[in-house]
Chains A and B, each alone.
Chain A
Amino acid sequence: MSAKFYGLSHFVFEKSLSYFCSLILGVHSKCAFRSYSYGLWWLTQPSAFPNEHLGPTKAIIHHRIAPSPSPAQPGLTRTVPPAPPSRLALARSLVSLSRTPNPRPRHKPSASAAMDPRRPPRSLSGGVEPKIRQVGFFTPDASAPSEPLAPAAAAVPAPSTKQGVAAGSPPASDDLSPGRLSPVMIPPPRHADLLAPGSPSPVVADSILATSAPARSSARLDVASEIADDDSWSRAPSSIELEENKRSLAGNEGAPTSIPQKQKTSKAERRAIQEAQRAAKAAAKEAANAASAAGPVTSKQAKAAKTAKKEVPQAASTVASEKKITERLPERERKLDAPHPRMQFDDVHKVEKAKKRAVVNQSEARNRVELFRHLPQYVHGTQLPDLESKFFQLEPMHPSVYKVGLQYLSGEVSGGNGRCIAMLLAFREAIKDYTTPPNKTLSRDLTAKISSYVSFLIECRPLSISMGNAIRFLKSRIAKLPHTLSESEAKASLQSDIDRFINEKIVVADKAIVNHAITKVRDNDVLLTYGSPSVVEMILDYAHELGRKFRVIVVDSRPKLEGQGLLRRLVAKGINCTYTHINAISYIMHEVTRVFLGASSILSNGTVYSRVGTASVAMVAHAFGVPVLVCCEAYKFHERVQLDSICANELGDPDVILKVPGKAEDHLKNWAENTNLQLLNLTYDATPPDYVSMIITDYGMVRYDSRYDQSFNLFI
């Protein structure tokens, strides 16, 4: 998504660089109106300030000046009264205006006409972002100017001077305008969102590596997230129509009042919010036009209005150009959407760079296997004491994230779902305790924070693909946060998003899988499973609850011996179990009627990426003509492709291979001293698709042959 819109923004940037300055003015006047309507909408939200008994205006002002310490969010207690101004200052600096910032609060009543008070709001990107925001739906007029703005705001100082002047006016004007409430102030956090460097790109490693260039990517992502806010690019024309309707329908006063009502009806849904935003924009446009006509505006505003008028005719032309863009997009999008190559650890330079940033001091394992140089492998256990000693120094690391990292390291938390849930809960805690530091914007800073958490977790243990997907989800949520939300609300919505993700994508998905899979368990079946997949365990439990008569064969392998845990739980429930090791799979396969396997991920070429040994089990089952059913939640699907188990894998601690349970002698003691000897402890392997009879996901069961028609991409 992001890449697509990035491409678009570039195109538009080149195209419309010539007249963006003039357009800015018009857009800003619109922006003023829109933010005004936002303010109204907020007031109508009963849940927006649950503990506020103040009048609406008061409430909002209160919120702006000193973030309301809502009971749900103790983390908000940071008492920085001049928070908004300081945020403005930050934004200003981001815009790279070298002028001296004016720290005066924006809602100074009389300053509207003066240059100084205007400048802060402009630079605050409050002026900048709204235009970007319109890209998605305001196709004709807004898309053209918006793109230049993001890059320009980030890097180009030359046009920004004029732009600054121009942009400064509208927020100021809305501050001023007597009829409009001060809620207009609310936009800042929202604008701040826009600058968030949230990388919605799938690859998490990328986010670690790419932190070196945040400014640029943030600009791009702004646009992306902006546009992503709207339903889809293709819907642009309809939204235009909608705005047209709105415009014709209402006058200056009518629009704002009607909008809140509309939102009231469908408050909870994002969709409604978007509609509202659209309407707000329309209203803003109206306001701009009207304002220019009415006259009680500064000369600047007049200019802005003029440009806005100019904008309208241009709109028609840009529609056409846009069509072209949409056609062109696919290639660009494809190119940019291609997954970022993961960190290759045989690249000396990159490894050096990564080491400098690393939180965890790790020493490379000795006697590495030549085939796996490209994967990280560290001496196990060396990080733990180091991490423990650093506990109080790692200031940016939230304790819950820290804890999860340690759990990953020690192997206390394992399994795709377990790790993913642990991580999300830790992030949830971290978000709960998060306060936007002064001079920072929430979405941007929070995304950076999450990225740093993620890189910490990666240092503890490489991420699984499902975790990568979850992180991608979270970041896109942050990037898409409605900009009208206050910090506490944004945090609350993020937390509920995380909860919803855990619930929908994992918990409920597992239940759905169980419901599907149970139809495949008949009486007198002999079910074989390998390792300890959590979903399969649920299936077996459920089948047992239903009173099906079946037998379970638990196949296990060293060094993790996870199957013993599963065996213990199943036997305790009274399920008849047989336990064996993976070498005996050919022996046991004669009696098996179904093989149920879990998966860490399913890749888009149908490869099942799972616990090492799964491929062997599936292969033997295939050779014996036993159906292989792979259970995998849809959130674990990934667009990556993989042919073997070597290009991407995870190397476990080699030392665990040494210790054979129940055997006294240790033949390979001191193995590290002999350079001829290596121990290889792979974690995953790739099962070729032809071994798998069926994939059971929460959306249903997929015959594996259907991979030819790319139906897997439905899940990705």
Chain B
Amino acid sequence: MPDVQPLVSDFVLKLKRRKVEGSHAVARQTAELLRSVVSQHRMGSSANQAAALADAVRAVGEQLIAANPIELAVGNIVRRVLHIIKEEDISSTAVGIEGLSVTVDSDDEYDREDDDRPSLSAAVLAAHARNALRAPSLQTLLEDIPVSPAISRTASSTGDSDGKSKSAGDKTSTRKLKHDVIAAIGDLIDEIDSCYEPISEQAVELIHQNEVILTLGRSRTVKEFLYAAKEKKRSFRVFVAEGAPRYQGHVLAKELVEKGVQTTVITDSAVFAMISRVNMVIVGAHAVMANGGVIAPVGMNMVALAAQRHAVPFVVVAGSHKLCPLYPHNPEVLLNELKSPSDLLDFGEFSDCMNFSTQDGSPLLNVVNPTFDYVPPKLVSLFVTDTGGHSPSYMYRLIAEYYSADDLVVRRKSTA
């Protein structure tokens, strides 16, 4: 795939140079890149094309993740795409069994059938496939008792049907798989773009009249969430902590005020003083880990601790693309990034008092400017994602819905 290589390296460079930041932008661009990777992928006539496709995606994904391991959204999207490929593979083989009788001889009719088949395969069967992946729950039992056994049957029958379908409609299934995957990635991009809507729809159910809300820094999800509540004629008051060192809280305050929300800008240091008068803390996140912990803009742990002290609900709003299937280990250090000291001190500002003669390897003055904080799950009251509200302990279930377990480590099979 020489055609995509420039695109990939371009994006890698962007990630490395932190030209692209923010999980939403990163997720979207990653998904687009992977879509073009998939579309450029020349399907060989190998036995397992899905695996080949997945390998190609993995290869790219590995580069992207290495480019900026802090942007967990990259890895999330890569895993999502791998999962999509797997799902589509399963569904296509399932369809292959059904369609065997119909489409075996009619290669010419393929184009016509193609129009309605994807909708059937992608929507219905992907859902079924997801059900298959999903562990049984009360809800699935209520929803579709008869389906699960059927799917499991098809899933079990895929093994022996493979040879038949491959031999019969090799080219058809290959093209269809690729097509389906591309369509599914398109759906994923749409989902990333529109993740704010399902989240903000829940705003009215969580914000009551005269609520006092505190937030830190600026998050688009939070903004949309509050906008939605305001549009539903809720009147509430927002305290915005400015969020050093980027001070994006000022931007959020400006945006909220434009919509007529009562807004008060406070300094970060005043969070503890004010939190006793706050009903709810609503913040955005950088990533949500599998254990329910949150990687969030710096300062969030302080806010969460203060909220816990005063028993104020700490609500994290996050799109599902921020859902990371990894369990954090020492996240403050390993999943963090130290930024330029110039955010805190001007260059050369301390040159006058630095004693350069006594340089024994350790500088006298260090400036620490981390980007993220880790909020442990016990401090989070609720996650509001595009699939609804969840408690931190439910996160691993959500993750099982979106990712397949063997993709957690994105590495090419060849190396393994």
Taking Cβ atoms with an 8 Å cutoff, the residues of A that contact B are 369, 371, 556-559, 564, 567-569, 571-572, 574-588, 590, 611-613, 615-616, 619-620, 623, 644-646, 649, 657-658, 660-663, 667-668, 674, 676-682, 685-686, 688
Contacts and interface: CB of A to CB of B under 8 A. Distances in A.
A611 B270 CA distance: 10
A619 B306 CA distance: 8
Contacts of A658: 250
Contacts of B262: 676
A200 B280 CA distance: 44
A615 B272 contact: yes
Nearest to B298: A583
A680 B237 CA distance: 14
A686 B247 contact: no
Interface in B286-301: 298-299, 301
Nearest to B276: A644
Interface stretch (B40-48, B201-209, B345-353): B345-353
Nearest to A569: B353
A571 B302 contact: no
A674 B257 contact: yes
Interface of B: 239, 242-245, 247, 250-251, 253-254, 257, 260-274, 276-277, 298-299, 301-302, 305-306, 309, 332, 336, 342-346, 349-350, 353-355, 358, 362, 364-370, 373-374
B302 A583 contact: yes
A564 B263 CA distance: 30
Nearest to B346: A662
A646 B251 contact: no
A612 B273 contact: yes
List the 3 closest A-B pairs by CB distance, nearest first. Answer: A613-B269, A583-B299, A645-B273
Given A587-B332, A646-B277, A668 B368 contact: no
* Consensus secondary structure, chain A interface: mixed
A586 B264 contact: no
27 contacts: A557-B244, A568-B353, A574-B364, A583-B244, A583-B268, A583-B298, A584-B370, A586-B299, A588-B368, A611-B269, A616-B302, A619-B305, A645-B270, A649-B273, A658-B250, A660-B242, A662-B346, A667-B253, A668-B253, A668-B265, A676-B262, A677-B253, A678-B264, A680-B267, A682-B269, A682-B274, A685-B273
Given A574-B355, A582-B302, A586-B301, A612 B250 contact: no
A571 B354 contact: yes
A646 B239 CA distance: 15
Contact of A572 (B243, B263, B353, B370): B353
Contact of A579 (B257, B264, B344): B344
A371 B277 CA distance: 9
Contacts of B342: 662
A667 B244 contact: no
Given A578-B366, A662-B346, A668 B302 contact: no
A660 B250 contact: yes
A588 B301 CA distance: 12
Nearest to A613: B269
Contacts of B373: 583, 586-587
B242 A686 contact: no
A476 B343 CA distance: 50
A674 B353 CA distance: 43
A44 to B, nearest CB: 57
Contact of A567 (B244, B306, B365): B365
A583 B243 contact: yes
Contacts of B302: 582-583, 585-586, 616, 619-620
Contacts of A682: 266-267, 269-270, 273-274
B296 to A, nearest CB: 11
Contacts of A613: 267-270, 272
Nearest to B375: A586
A677 B263 contact: yes
Contacts of A679: 264-265
Contacts of A612: 267, 269-270, 273
Given A583-B268, A615-B273, A682-B274, 8 more contacts: A567-B350, A582-B244, A582-B299, A583-B243, A584-B368, A612-B267, A660-B250, A668-B253
Contacts of B250: 658, 660, 667-668
A55 to B, nearest CB: 63
A397 B7 CA distance: 75
